[in-house]
Amino acid sequence: MILKFLKDWTLPIAMAAGACGYFMFHSINCLAPLKPAVWAIVDILTPLLIFTQLFLTFCKIEPSELKISKWHSTLLIFQAASAFTAALILICVPMNEIYREIFEGAMICLICPTATAAAVVTDKLGGSAASLTVYTLLSNLLAAVFVPVVFPLVEVHAELGFINAFLKILSKVFPLLICPFLLALLLRYISPKLHGFFKRNAGVAFYLWGIALSLVVGQTVRSLCNSTAPASVMWTIAGASLLCCIVQYSFGKHTGKRHKDTISAGQALGQKNTVLAIWMAYTYLNPLSSLAPGTYVLWQNIFNSWQLWRKRKKDETAVPIP
């Protein structure tokens, strides 16, 4: 009963825990000396949780399922082109800090890879979880290349220079997104029993996602509390993430419809690994831009909840064939 409650309400519980945890920790004055150490631990723990989630998800992939569908290439091109367009505007068009935060937030929502939990939602909606998991791998590979190359050009650090910034981000992002798949694939052949253990317990990734979500929400709340930006800017960033959500779900479903895989393609492009997105935005871009993926998680889960509700209603009203 408790596990069912936690699974049904993981999103609001995790977000509330992250926000409340930050305010409680921040308000206890005697803990002030510990704050730098605690935030350092959070910075280390978050990517470890993301790595473990991806590893458990990729343990479920069968090599025979690694088949590229036609819609995979279309969505990858759209994902790369839309994110690069936002990056190009940031690089080439002079703008104040407010507009930069908006475009950075949009860019991170566009390039962010597919959520590890998307396969679960896709399966419940009647789509192909295997096809979506393959796209999850491909979108992680795309992000692993895009982020180290483009982010140093968008958020310039004069003290590092492009090459140093590129290598620094590459050393953290590429292993985080690609090594989980390589490790899962290697483990399948060198230790089938251990691989089978992780495959049977891949559901743990869902709860690890909840913990990681709490941590990154705490980081987002921290950046919001420390920000001097007006409320109108925050609402505009949230609006930009809503627009990104609508565009990506719409384009994904439209593309999937042409290839008779509407549900899988829609979830592949629309349902994002927002935990990873918030972490990347907070770590490598303006911290306030993390508000975009922070609100994207609300938009995508509102839409997913509506889709699941509509699917249940459809199943309940379906007339059984005698």
- From first to last of its 322 residues, the chain has per-residue pLDDT tens of 666 666 666 667 777 888 888 888 777 777 667 777 777 787 788 788 888 888 887 888 777 777 888 899 999 999 999 999 999 999 998 888 888 989 999 999 999 999 877 877 787 788 887 788 889 889 988 998 899 989 988 987 655 677 887 888 888 887 877 888 889 889 998 999 999 999 888 878 777 877 877 887 787 777 777 777 788 888 999 999 999 999 999 999 999 999 989 999 999 999 998 888 888 888 888 888 888 988 898 888 788 878 878 887 887 776 454 4
| Distance separating alpha carbons of residues 12 and 15, to the nearest angstrom | 5
- Enumerate the β-bridge partners of residue 272: 114
Residue-level pLDDT at 322 = 47
Residue-level pLDDT at 262 = 93
Residue-level pLDDT at 7 = 63
Residue 311 has φ and ψ, to the nearest 5°, of -65, -40
Question: Which helix H or strand E contains 193, and what residues bound it?
Answer: helix 192-200
DSSP string across 147-197:
HHHHHHHHS--TTTHHHHHHHHHHHHHHHHHHHHHHHHHHHHHH-HHHHHH
Contact 308, 124 (CB under 8 A): yes
Residue 131 tokens read as 């096809």
Residue 237 tokens read as 């960033």
Rounded to two decimals, the pTM is 0.80
Residue-level pLDDT at 159 = 59
